[in-house]
Amino acid sequence: MKKLPVIKQIKPWLTVGFVNLVMLFFLTEAVLFVFLWITEKRIIYLPQKLVKPNQESLIFTKLSQKTLNNESILVRFHPFFGYVLKPGVYNHELSGLKVNNYGFFSPYDYPYTKTHSNQVIIGIFGGSVASDFSVNEIIDPSHPRTLIQKLQSLPQFEDKEIIVLNFANGGYKQPQQLLILSYFLSLGQEFDLVINIDGFNELALSPLNNQAKLDLTMPSFQHFQPLMSLVNADLSAIISMGEMIKTKQKLTQVNKQLNQCQLAWCYAINQLKIKYLSKTYQQQVSDFDRHQIQKQSTAIHSEKSLIALSKKSEALEDEVAVNQAVNNWFESSLMMSHLLSMRQIPYFHVIQPNQHYPTERTFSSAEKQMIWESPYHQAARKSYPVLISKAEQMQKYGINLFNAVKILDETSETVYRDSCCHYNQLGQDILTDYVAQSIIRTFHP
């Protein structure tokens, strides 16, 4: 009974403290609400359409839900293409998209044979941007299939069933596109039209090959190296890969939590988590590349290496390396055009836009930060003018080449989703519309 006076003395202070905490919560909530409205025009308390994961995050979420062991390595060596995704590792029930028998994202196994004469087959070649371009026409049936719909306005494609086949994978660069095209043509794969979207990987990834004293025409060292580490039993590389996968999984989980937030507090906290995890992931990738380049540069030149690669005794001077990379891109692209023209198959070549080559575009605050975080910024910025200059020669050969580097300049909204070169849905729609309209103008000037 003697304790009651003490409790009576403490109770008012507890009440005041509780009231102050509640007021602080509502005040902070109000400030964050205003901030979200100003920066994103978002009213957090109203029902929001969930942010759809882009193709890459959706696919990676599915692929990364495994432990790192022999059965969960997501890529495989390919004797002709360098590397492909593990066949069967991914299936999207809604769209039928899967990693097919040849390791490409597609609803169909290859070679694909027409089931009736009314079908038109379009082949897409290139790296991850080209793969996203293909997947965008397939993975979300509720989203307008811009390429297909616009091409069906052409008389020759009117009332046709257009089949989009993806022959692109992340990190591919010439001559991989050329080799893949040659291979599938030799198998009898039919094409009515081919689109090649490239230019960035050839310049952004070749310097890593050069640093590792690996021939620039070899597959991307950044993408090929983890497989070499596994073959050559490099345990540290396996551990690093596992850490990167875990960080990517956390990013996916926090992104899901962000979509479910109904308070400004929740939204702000999860945004901070995403920024932190994104920065961590970029740093892990950068550290992985830096350490493995030095280690594997020695390993691939060792007689103990089980992989035969074209190697060099010394790295090339930067200017020499850029010119070699561009010339390889030019000759490979020219060969693709020749192969297809012999079969009277229209070929369209697109130089992909990226945030590193300077144009008149006004970047959003989020994009500005991503530019400087990218390990590809300097290489693409310095080398793209050389590639564009060479592209002008390509047009003299009669190739349907479209320089898309400035197509995103007309919008100040965020169009890039990462520090590399990939687009969000708005950016993807702009690219797809540009490609479709360019093809239409070629057929009907």
Residue 231, C-beta contacts closer than 8 angstroms, at least 6 positions apart? 77, 306, 307
Query: What's the pLDDT score for residue 302?
Result: 56
Give the DSSP letter string of 229-290.
HHHTT-HHHHHHHHHHHHHHHHHHHHHHHHHT--SHHHHHHHHHHHHHHHHHHHHHHHHHHH
Q: Distance (Å, rounded) from C-alpha 180 to C-alpha 72?
A: 25
Better-scored residue on pLDDT, 210 or 14: 210
* Residue 254 confidence class, pLDDT cut points 50, 70, 90: confident
As a whole number, mean pLDDT of residues 392-397 equals 86
Q: What is the pLDDT of residues 97-107, one digit of tens each?
A: 999 999 999 99
Mean of pLDDT values over 173-198:
98
| pLDDT at site 392 | 85
Assess contact for 128 and 169: CB atoms under 8 A. Answer: yes
Residues 218-230, mean pLDDT to the nearest whole number:
80
- Other C-beta atoms lying within 10 Å of the C-beta of residue 44: 19
pLDDT at 53: 41
Grade residue 346 by pLDDT with cuts at 50, 70 and 90.
very high
Q: Give 201's DSSP letter.
A: H
Q: With cut-offs at 50, 70 and 90, classify the pLDDT of residue 57.
A: very low
Highest mean pLDDT among 6-10, 70-74, 256-260, 277-281: 277-281
For 177, the 3-state DSSP assignment is helix
- Alpha helix segments (H runs only) across 260-376: 264-300, 318-342, 365-373
The DSSP call for residue 355 is: S
Please tell me which residue, 287 or 200, carries the higher pLDDT value: 200
Contacts of 265 (CB under 8 A, 6+ apart): 25, 28, 29, 32
Q: In angstroms, what is the C-alpha Rg of the chain?
A: 25
Q: What is the pLDDT of residues 58-95, one digit of tens each?
A: 333 333 333 344 445 678 889 999 999 989 888 877 77
Task: Give CA angle at 367 (366, 371), nearest 5°.
Answer: 125
- Split at pLDDT 50, 70, 90, the class of 270 is confident
In this predicted structure, what is the pLDDT of residue 54? 44
Look at residue 276 in the predicted model and tell me its pLDDT. 82
Task: Tell me the average pLDDT across 12-25.
Answer: 62
Percent of the chain whose predicted confidence (pLDDT) is above 70 = 73
Res 247 pLDDT > 70: yes
pLDDT reported for residue 435: 96
pLDDT band at 32 (very low <50, low <70, confident <90, very high): low
The predicted model gives 366-390 an average pLDDT of 86
Summarised one tens digit per residue, pLDDT across range 307-319 is 777 778 889 999 9
More confident position, 145 or 325: 325
> What's the pLDDT tens digit per position in 348-366?
999 999 999 999 999 888 8
pLDDT > 90: percent of the chain: 44
Phi and psi for 375 in degrees, rounded to 5? -75, -10
Asked if omega into 385 is within 30° of 0 (cis), the reply is no
pLDDT for 42: 57
Task: Please determine, for residue 30, whether its predicted confidence score (pLDDT) is greater than 80.
Answer: no
Average confidence score pLDDT of the chain: 81
* Confidence check: pLDDT of 210 > 80: yes
C-alpha 357/C-alpha 214 separation (Å) is: 25
Q: Which of 319, 380, 331, 350 is nearest to 174 (CA)?
A: 331
Rounded to 5°, angle at Cα 125 from 121 and 127: 145
What are the structure tokens assigned to 214, written together?
A: 């690996």
For residue 55, is pLDDT > 50? no
Is the pLDDT higher at 320 or at 291?
Answer: 320
Structure-derived torsion over alpha carbons of residues 129, 358, 326, 426, reported in degrees to the nearest 10: 10
Closest CA to 83 of 209, 166, 199, 173: 173
pLDDT at 66: 36
Answer for the pair 250, 41: CB distance below 8 angstroms, yes or no: no
Please give the pLDDT value at position 248. Answer: 76
Determine the pLDDT at residue 408: 95
- Under the banding of pLDDT at 50, 70 and 90, the label for residue 390 is very high
Of 199, 208, 287, 284, nearest in space to 246 by CA: 284
Scanning 41-169, the segments in alpha helix (DSSP H) are 55-63, 128-136, 146-151
